[in-house]
């Protein structure tokens, strides 16, 4: 079984969010379980030089983009038994960013999707399955049908498309997409690519892929409803027979408190109580918070958007800060209004609130190790990785019961002594506040129970083994 994994980001080369993590770890596990998996992504300028130095130039071709002909090089890098291909073009991927504005990105990723298919002949790799991810690789299944239907090497390939976030769809003017993708008018009808007078990469993928997955069973159900469906719920209901949710795992080598070199003190499930305290005070010192290992640290490592529930946080942050025992650390970047309000709280409650407005992987690891809880009050959450990473580090997630958060965090039940975190149901700031206070109460007044929840959370298995097995079963049923 040969699989080509198509992605717009992949750790450790380039990552802006969960897709980068998934692309970095799932293919390795597929290979470990005997599936020949290769990954293809753009060769962005922002990929660190150390990886660029390891890449080998293979060949180049030219790809027609409207009236232009664009250079398309391919580089190869082998790492951890996975072969990575990087699509090279200075014009599209030479700038200092991963994603730009939609007008630019439509053409960049149309080029990438065309390149993915054209390059199969160059690298002479013929997958049984092309596994594409999110709108940036959404046109692959459309172009496979439109341009390669009569080529025997191509038309036996099956396509799987994974939705990591339905909100971002790659919607743009029909004429532009028709031009850069070289698609006939007949593709731009409401049953195909047309989306409210424009056209959508995501819709193309959902229409033309042989099978669709998303990253948790609950999100797979939610997106069939109007509230979560982002105007594609009708199509998703129509395709319900070819749609399922497979929950993400995390990379157990990268996220391992026993061996993590980025955290202040490594620890395991036996010595975590004392060692987490050392991590806590070291973090407090680094961030200028009041140094006290009995403070209750709530962290968020997050894109600062409404999706992540930042409006709920803003609404009750003042109430949370009312409690002198609570410290809050937010690491994230995103919408200006959220960045500004966090800076304001950092200023007002200096020593108790720390706003770290940046992307910082090392600090993220330190936060997972040093915090008591991580807060994820998402409006919607396809899977969410923070809660999985947090549990591995004995940091308890407080989540809203949606998408993957609902599937992966079992709420604490004080009567049966079960559960691995805390949760609330409605998108309501005071419901969230109530649960934060409840968790805080358990932490201070029932420490033995608290430590029991941490132990259960750390013992949970959210490695990729099981999920990769589910993907392989799916590939086999399609091939």
Task: Based on the shown chain and the rule CB under 6 A, indicate whether residue 246 belongs to the binding site for ligand ADP.
Answer: no
Between 118 and 246, CB nearer to ligand ADP? 246
Q: Measuring CA to CA, which residue among 322, 319, 312, 296 is closest to residue 442?
A: 296
Cα 397 to Cα 93, 352, 388, 410, 446, distances in angstroms: 37, 20, 8, 10, 17
Residues comprising the chain, all counted: 479
Rounded least distance, CB 170 to ligand ADP, Å: 16
Rounded least distance, CB 302 to ligand ADP, Å: 6
Q: Of residues 33, 333, 428, 451, which one binds ligand ADP by CB under 6 A?
A: 333
Between 16 and 242, CB nearer to ligand ADP? 16
- Angle of helix 102-123 relative to helix 174-181, nearest 10 degrees? 20
Between 283 and 301, CB nearer to ligand ADP? 301
Span 1-30, contacts to ligand ADP by CB under 6 A: 17-18, 21
Rounded least distance, CB 368 to ligand ADP, Å: 8
Rounded least distance, CB 178 to ligand ADP, Å: 30
The residue written with tokens 């060692």 in the block is 275
Rounded least distance, CB 273 to ligand ADP, Å: 24
Draw the binding track, 297-326, toward ligand ADP (x: CB under 6 A; -: no contact).
----xxx-----------------------
How far apart, in whole angstroms, are the C-alpha atoms of residue 312 and residue 430? 8
The residue written with tokens 């004429």 in the block is 175
Query: DSSP string spanning 75-129?
Result: EEEEETTEEEEEEE-HHHH-SS-S---HHHHHHHHHHHHHHHHHHHHHHT---SE
Applying CB under 6 A, the span of 110-118, 382-390, 419-427, 431-439 interacting with ligand ADP comes to 382-390
Rounded least distance, CB 301 to ligand ADP, Å: 4
Quick one: CA dihedral 476, 166, 199, 40, positive or negative?
negative
CA 289 to chain centre: 30
Draw the binding track, 344-363, toward ligand ADP (x: CB under 6 A; -: no contact).
---------------xxx--
Conformation bin of residue 124: beta by default, left when phi > 0, alpha when psi is -120 to 50: left
List residues binding ligand ADP (CB under 6 A). 17-18, 21, 301-303, 331-333, 359-361, 364, 383-386
């Amino acid at each position: 079984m040969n699989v080509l994994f198509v992605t717009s980001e992949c750790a450790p080369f380039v990552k802006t969010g969960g897709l980068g993590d998934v692309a970095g770890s799932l293919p390795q596990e597929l290979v470990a379980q005997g599936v020949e998996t290769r990954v293809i992504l753009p060769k962005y300028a922002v990929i660190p030089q150390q990886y660029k130095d390891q890449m080998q130039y293979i060949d180049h071709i030219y790809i027609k983009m409207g009236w232009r002909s664009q250079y398309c090089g391919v580089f190869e890098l082998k790492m951890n038994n996975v072969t990575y291909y990087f699509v090279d073009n200075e014009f599209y991927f030479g700038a200092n960013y991963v994603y730009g504005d939609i007008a630019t990105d439509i053409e960049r990723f149309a080029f990438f999707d065309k390149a993915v298919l054209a390059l199969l002949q160059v690298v002479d790799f013929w997958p049984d399955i092309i596994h594409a991810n999110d709108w940036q690789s959404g046109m692959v299944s459309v172009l496979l049908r439109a341009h390669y239907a009569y080529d025997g090497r191509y038309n036996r390939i099956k396509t799987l498309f994974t939705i990591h976030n339905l909100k971002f769809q790659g919607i743009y003017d029909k004429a532009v997409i028709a031009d850069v993708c070289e698609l006939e008018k007949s593709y731009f009808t409401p049953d195909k690519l047309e989306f409210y007078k424009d056209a959508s990469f995501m819709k193309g993928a959902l229409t033309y892929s042989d099978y669709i997955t998303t990253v948790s069973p609950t999100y797979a159900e939610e997106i069939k409803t109007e509230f979560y469906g982002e105007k594609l719920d009708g199509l998703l209901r129509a395709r319900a027979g070819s749609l399922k949710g497979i929950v993400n795992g995390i990379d157990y080598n990268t996220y391992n408190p026993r061996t993590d070199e980025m955290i202040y003190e490594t620890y395991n499930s036996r010595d975590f109580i004392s060692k987490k305290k050392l991590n806590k005070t070291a973090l407090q010192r680094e961030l200028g918070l009041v140094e006290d290992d009995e403070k209750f640290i709530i962290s968020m490592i997050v894109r600062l958007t409404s999706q992540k529930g930042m409006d709920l946080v803003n609404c009750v942050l003042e109430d949370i800060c009312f409690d002198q025992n609570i410290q809050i650390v937010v690491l994230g970047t995103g919408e200006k209004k959220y960045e500004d309000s966090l800076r304001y709280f950092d200023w007002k409650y200096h020593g108790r609130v720390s706003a770290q407005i940046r992307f910082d992987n090392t600090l993220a690891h330190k936060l997972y190790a040093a915090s008591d809880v991580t807060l994820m009050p998402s409006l919607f959450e396809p899977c969410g990785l923070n809660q999985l990473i947090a549990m591995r580090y004995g940091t308890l997630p407080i989540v809203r019961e949606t998408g993957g958060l609902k599937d992966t965090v079992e709420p604490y039940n004080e009567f049966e002594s079960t559960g691995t975190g805390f949760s609330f149901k409605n998108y309501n700031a005071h419901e969230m506040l109530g649960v934060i206070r409840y968790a805080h109460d358990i932490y201070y007044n029932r420490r033995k129970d608290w430590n029991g929840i941490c132990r259960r959370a750390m013992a949970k298995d959210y490695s990729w083994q099981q999920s990769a097995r589910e993907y392989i079963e799916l590939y086999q049923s399609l091939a």
